């Protein structure tokens, strides 16, 4: 016999926390994580098409290919920025389904390109949808799961991106010899399209989104779909005042949130820019005269770096269930600095040493640089502006990835080798660590009860209550 969860005078976060992770939560989380997996898969698939495009159309690597990569990152950033705002207006699930369909269709249709100009147009459209889908995925996960597990599951979902790169490489090895780059693109589009069709039928819209929009009927319906045992009629839904439903972008830079927003933009810019600079140039650095690996050895080292990155991301997800997000991410950044120094100061690296040291670096660096911006952004903002906040942070991250690619190419062109590049990572790591400290201090300044990652009921209440606060109006003190 099933029991019914009573919910008198409790908020959505408190009811979700009391229910815990049901199988419906896990199913929704798994499908959203699979969408994130297709992001890593797509990037790997497209990178494997470039040699074929060079041969077939005579495209130059330094010209056409570089333009597609750089413009693609910018397009992803624009997609994240636009989708973040739309997800606060139209709904997280609706925007996720639409943008995933866009990027899946554009990827598959890229296979019909008669020339490089058409390929570029389809690619930029796919990147627009992909950046939008990634930002919206993080927002929907944050809204659906219990507050206590929010940071951990966001980090865990990001591990799917690393698995996607492995899947993309496997698909490339299977399909390129059989059907060429066009067959590879079709597969890269069909897979996310199938996943999003299942997601559209199974995953509910965010109850908190409906409540923040003042639509209590749909909020109760969505909550009942997620947790059928809940008496939704007795749930207290926090709804914003009419004035709070407009000017969302202005609220991001209001007195309450402007410091947090600025710090998140810095963190996003440096974290993804630094991460992709390593990933993009690691094979090239390994095959330089020093250390002088061949292509097979280089691929092995890069593959190990990717595999340990998945393990590291899962570990930081587990740590985030136990300690504050600021402590977990700050500690990961300190360990990243140690790993960078370890690689940077070890002379005459042999193949065996590279496997060991870059395996360690892969365990630490991607975990510190990858999921952390979404964890910080999703926890920093109340429901009504969460999508826009996550989207703007993702936009800065994608711009940072384009700049990081350019900076990395410039440094390597100037003669910087593997060890030198890893030592230069100490500069962005120092800034990122200071940014996390600043975010923690600003959360304390705002009296944000969620600064401890909502590990208590009070934390859940603090997140929810923020939805009813006017960001620019001084708050009344007790007794007044």
Q: Which pLDDT score is estimated for 62?
A: 65
Q: 295 in a domain, yes or no? A: yes
Q: How many domains does the chain have?
A: 1
Q: Is the peptide bond before 291 cis (omega within 30 degrees of 0)?
A: yes
Instruction: Report yes or no: 306 and 365 within 8 Å, Cβ to Cβ.
Output: no
Q: Is residue 474 part of a domain?
A: no
pLDDT score for 188: 93
Spatial CA neighbour of 2 closest among 226, 228, 235, 234 = 228
Q: Is 447 left (phi over 0), alpha (psi -120 to 50) or beta?
A: left
What was the pLDDT predicted at 471? 36
pLDDT tens sequence for the chain (480 residues): 344 444 444 677 777 887 888 898 999 999 999 999 998 888 878 877 888 888 889 887 667 877 888 888 889 989 988 998 898 889 999 999 999 999 999 999 999 999 999 999 999 999 999 999 998 998 899 889 888 888 888 888 888 887 887 788 788 888 888 989 999 999 999 999 999 999 999 999 988 888 888 788 888 888 888 888 765 565 666 555 544 444 666 778 778 888 999 999 999 999 988 988 887 777 778 878 888 887 678 778 877 888 888 899 989 988 988 889 999 999 999 999 999 999 999 888 888 999 999 999 999 998 999 889 989 998 888 878 888 888 889 889 989 988 887 788 788 778 888 889 899 999 999 999 999 999 999 988 877 644 444 433 333 333 333 343 333 333 433 333
| Residue 479, domain member (yes or no) | no
Instruction: Give the range of the structural domain holding residue 69, as residue numbers without chain letter.
Output: 12-468
Per-residue confidence (pLDDT) for residue 474, from 0 to 100? 39
Cα dist. 216→54, 95, 115, 219, 465 in Å? 55, 20, 51, 5, 16
Q: Cβ contacts of residue 368 below 8 Å, gap of 6+?
A: 271, 316, 329, 332, 333, 335, 336, 429, 432
**Calpha distance 35→96 (Å, rounded):** 9
| pLDDT for position 67 | 84
Q: Could you give the angle at the alpha carbon of 326 between the alpha carbons of 357 and 477, nearest 5°?
A: 175
What is the structure's pLDDT at 31?
96
Q: How many residues does the chain have?
A: 480
For residue 475, tell me if it sits in a domain. Answer: no
The alpha-helical segments, DSSP class H, found in 320-425 are 325-345, 351-369, 372-380, 383-413, 418-424
What pLDDT score does 133 carry?
94
pLDDT for the residue numbered 403: 86
- Residue 450 Cα distances to 69, 193, 315, angstroms: 38, 36, 22
| 63 within domain boundaries | yes
- Residue 83's Cβ-side half-sphere holds a number of Cα atoms within 13 Å equal to 36
**230 in helix, strand or coil?**
strand
CATH code, domain carrying 356: 1.20.1250.20
pLDDT at residue 462, as a whole number: 38
User: Is residue 48 in a domain?
Assistant: yes
pLDDT in the model for residue 477: 37
**Inside any domain, residue 319:** yes
| Residue 1 within a domain | no
Query: What is residue 7's predicted lDDT score, i.e. its pLDDT?
Result: 41
- What are the angstrom distances between the C-alpha of 4 and each of 25, 227, 266, 359, 412? 17, 10, 45, 48, 62
């Amino acid at each position: 016999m099933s029991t019914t969860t009573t919910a008198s005078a409790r908020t959505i976060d408190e009811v979700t926390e009391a229910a815990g992770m049901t199988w419906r939560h896990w199913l929704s989380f798994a499908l959203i994580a699979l969408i994130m997996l297709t992001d890593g898969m797509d990037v790997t698939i497209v990178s494997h098409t470039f040699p074929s495009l060079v041969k077939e159309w005579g495209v130059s690597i330094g010209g056409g290919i570089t333009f597609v990569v750089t413009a693609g990152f910018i397009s992803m950033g624009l997609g994240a920025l636009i989708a973040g705002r739309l997800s606060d207006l139209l709904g997280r699930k609706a925007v996720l389904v639409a943008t995933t369909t866009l990027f899946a269709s554009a990827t598959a249709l890229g296979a019909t390109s008669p020339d490089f100009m058409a390929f570029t147009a389809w690619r930029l459209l796919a990147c627009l949808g992909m950046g939008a889908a990634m930002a919206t995925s993080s927002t929907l996960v944050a809204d659906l799961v219990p507050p206590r597990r929010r940071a951990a599951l966001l980090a865990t979902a990001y591990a799917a991106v690393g698995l996607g790169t492995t899947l993309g490489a496997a698909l490339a090895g299977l399909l390129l010899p059989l059907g060429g780059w066009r067959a590879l693109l079709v597969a890269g589009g069909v897979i996310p399209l199938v996943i999003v069709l299942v997601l559209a039928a199974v995953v509910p819209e965010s109850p908190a989104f409906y409540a923040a929009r003042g639509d209590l009927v749909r909020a109760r319906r969505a909550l009942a779909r997620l947790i059928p045992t809940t008496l939704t009629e007795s749930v207290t839904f926090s709804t914003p005042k009419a004035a709070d439903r407009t000017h969302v972008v202005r609220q991001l830079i209001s007195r309450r949130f402007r410091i947090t927003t600025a710090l998140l933009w810095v963190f996003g810019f440096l974290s993804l820019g630094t991460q992709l600079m390593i990933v993009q140039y690691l094979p090239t650095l390994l095959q330089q005269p020093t250390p002088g690996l061949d292509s097979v050895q280089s691929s092995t080292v890069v593959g190990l770096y990717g595999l340990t990155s998945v393990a590291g991301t899962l570990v930081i997800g587990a740590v985030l269930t136990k300690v504050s997000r600021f402590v977990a991410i700050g500690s990961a950044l300190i360990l990243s600095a140690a790993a960078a120094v370890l690689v940077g100061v070890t002379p005459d690296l042999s193949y065996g040493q590279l496997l060991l040291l870059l395996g360690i670096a892969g365990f630490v660096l991607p975990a510190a640089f990858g999921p952390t911006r979404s964890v910080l952004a999703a926890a920093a903002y109340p429901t009504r502006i969460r999508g826009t906040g996550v989207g703007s942070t993702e936009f800065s991250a994608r711009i940072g990835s384009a700049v990081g690619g350019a900076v990395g190419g410039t440094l390597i062109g100037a003669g910087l080798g593997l060890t030198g590049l890893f030592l230069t990572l100490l500069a962005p790591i120092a800034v990122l660590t200071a940014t996390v400290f600043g975010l923690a201090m600003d959360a304390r300044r705002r009296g944000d009860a969620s600064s401890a990652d909502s590990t208590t009921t009070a934390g859940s209440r603090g997140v929810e209550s923020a939805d009813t606060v006017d960001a620019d109006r001084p708050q009344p003190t007790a007794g007044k």
